[in-house]
Amino acid sequence: MIRIRPDIAKAIQENRPVVALESTIISHGMPYPQNVETAKRCQEIIEEQGALAATIAILDGEIVIGLTDQEIEQIANGSVEVLKVGRKDLPVVIQKKQNGALTVSGTMVACQMAGIRFFATGGIGGVHRGAETTYDISSDLEEFTKSQVAVISAGAKAILDLEKTMEYMETKGILVLGYDTDELPAFYTRESGIPLEYNCQTPEEIASICAMKWNMNLEGGVFIANPIPLQYSYPKAEIDQAIDQAVQDMNRLGIKGKKTTPYLLSRITEITANKSLEVNMQLVFNNCQLAAKIAVAYWKGQQ
Ligand code: PSU
Ligand code: MN
């Protein structure tokens, strides 16, 4: 049920640096053709740092680790149905031989199965606004208590309740490391006003803390929060307004469950006339670069 590109399989076996990339961001998080452009550039950035990039999705019921350009195009252009797949959906989509884009939780499961330790994305799912009545909490958070994978993201979007997201991770014993930041980055912006306990200064420091956690056999992943570079950071008041508008529209339309995050992402892109998309691409690139540096440092630390 799992097909790993031969050069990636060899690298994993030899403990060389590999960075995974998710596919929900391609199929459900960005419009075509910017999604293809982003997916390919992410791979290049990782490879420029001396790591291998492994984009992961489910094709005809097979978990494919290391998509070809043609396969990326296939899940990106809307020509075939591509389901949004988290941990819970994996057995169904595989059994039915369907196509699936993996979320953060789904990708972490795939990484655990294949032996990949590092994974770069844009933002992770979390506790949604209004969760006190809807109970909408992304399974991404729970996955951080299970799979031994470090996820490099620009924090979490303000479509979520960031304070509750942090409290949830605290309760679950999820390790959160900031990269050169004292506060949780909020995806489009560097600041959220929510303090982070651990501020790491180098990729080496992050790699060595990850190694410590896993050498101790502590289950679960590491959430690495990497703020968007200053020159791309979105004006906070402007993006907050777009987010509030998108959340209002969603509630008015009665959109719920797994449709929530894709709806909000595309609505924000619409409201900001694609400005948020450019920012989104830049922060993903920034995360790919850091993820590859951490993966390389982790590998060197093991020599
Ligand atoms: N946040 C983003 N962009 C994304 C996602 C989250 O800024 O594309 C995607 C990721 O794949 C994440 C998923 O795992 O949305 C979370 O979905 P949900 O909230 O339904 O768990
Ligand atoms: Mn949800």
Please enumerate in sequence order all residues whose Cβ is within 8 A of that of 241, keeping only pairs 6 or more positions apart, or say none: none
pLDDT at site 177: 98
Residues in the chain, pLDDT under 50: none
Å from CA of 165 to ligand 2 middle: 13
DSSP label at residue 192:
-
In angstroms, the first-to-last Cα distance of the chain is: 32
- Domain span at residue 26? 2-302
- Ligand 1 pocket check for 243: Cβ under 6 Å: no
96 classed as catalytic: no
Q: Whose CA is nearest to atom 11 of ligand 1?
A: 103
Contact at 8 Å (CB) between 72 and 90?
no
CATH number at residue 100: 3.40.1790.10
Mutate to test the pocket of ligand 1, among 27, 30, 85, 104 (most ligand atoms within 8 A of CB): 104
The total number of structural domains that make up the chain: 1
d(CA 111, CA 117): 7
Closest ligand 1 atom to Cα of 103 = 11
Q: Is 157 a catalytic residue?
A: yes
Buried b (16+ CB within 10 A) or exposed e, 172-208: eebbbbbbebebbbbbbbbebebebeeebeebbbbbb
255 Cβ contact partners less than 8 Å away, ≥ 6 residues apart: 263
**143 CA to centre of ligand 2 in angstroms:** 13
* pTM for the structure as a whole: 0.97
Pocket-testing residue among 22, 23, 25, 28, ligand 1, by greatest number of atoms within 8 A of Cβ: 25
Q: How many helices (H) and strands (E) does the chain have?
A: 13, 11
pLDDT in tens, 19-48: 999 999 999 999 999 999 999 999 999 999
Tokens of 299: 């590998």
Determine which one of 84, 157, 258, 293 is catalytic.
Answer: 157
Q: Token digits for 101?
A: 């884009």
Q: Is the CB of 220 under 6 A from ligand 1?
A: no
pLDDT of residue 28: 95
Would you say the CB of residue 122 lies under 6 angstroms from ligand 1? Answer: yes
